[in-house]
Structure 1
Amino acid sequence: MDQNYYDVKGLIKFIFKNKRQINFYDLDMQISNKILFPLKFKFVPYEKLLSAYSTKCYEMAVKCSRVYNGFPLIKISYRMQDMLRKNIEIRLPIAINKFMKKTKITREIFDKFWNNENFNTNKEEKIITKDDNMNNDMLIERACLLRLVLYMLCPYILYINI
């Protein structure tokens, strides 16, 4: 997300990157659905298809009608090849005031907000122990084994110095 503001107006750019081999169809974005929401948005016309492995930038103009200190809710919906609509809701941990200035918050406050908003529903953890780490001897052993296998496959081509 990139944003530029002047007075009570501004421009927000959302950059989406599709890292999959499939297309996303009917991409749609909304920011907060409250009637009295003080920020008014107008999207620049955009293509609603996000092709496989592509990156696109979507722009919107924004105008702030009054002071707002809250956390905007972004709703993104799209269809994949099965054509079932899927939705993502993200509450941005960014406080917004009339001029959209950055707000500094401490790590403790951010962590508390993040955990209270259920951002961690798909959180996964892996504890890496010392046994999981590869040492240099293990790497050399595997490289030598690879060299031997490659030599068996094509003995007249391979000359690798390890």
Structure 2
Amino acid sequence: MQDALLDLPCVTLSGEQKTLGDFAGKALLVVNTASQCGFTPQYKGLEQLWQQYREQGLVVLGFPCNQFGKQEPGDAKEIAQFCELNFGVSFPLFRKVEVNGPGAHPLFVELKQRAPGLFGTQKIKWNFTKFLIDPASGKVTRYAPTTKPEAIKASVEALLSR
């Protein structure tokens, strides 16, 4: 990735300033997450992907979002504790963001432009929408909230085998 996507500022749950450039050369799986969603058990699958492929160059990045049914009401500390205690999450988690509307985080604005949803929509429909970013080309592939993390293993492996 040799573009503006790398320069977008993000803040971790612990308050550390990051950009995607900090993960340059890695395949990135960016996910908008929530702790009280029907898809919340996907944290387990995301953690499994992270554990299985991080040495080969995959980074899973979780971005909590409270825009869908107010399913992420907690603060940074509560989110971190919930994810660690319930799902053993060790991949990077970021501060809560908005993914739609005028307050949408620039990362999600860019991801939606590069990988629109069904019928070209720019909106994210729900929590646990996934974006897999190719480290070489910056190409973004979008996966629906209903797509379980284990269902994208082949795509991850294909990116990592290049």
TM-score range normalised by the length of the shorter chain: under 0.3
Larger radius of gyration: 1
Q: Which has the higher strand share?
A: 1
Q: Which has the higher helix share?
A: 2
TM-score normalised to the size of structure 2? 0.20
TM-score normalised to the size of structure 1? 0.20
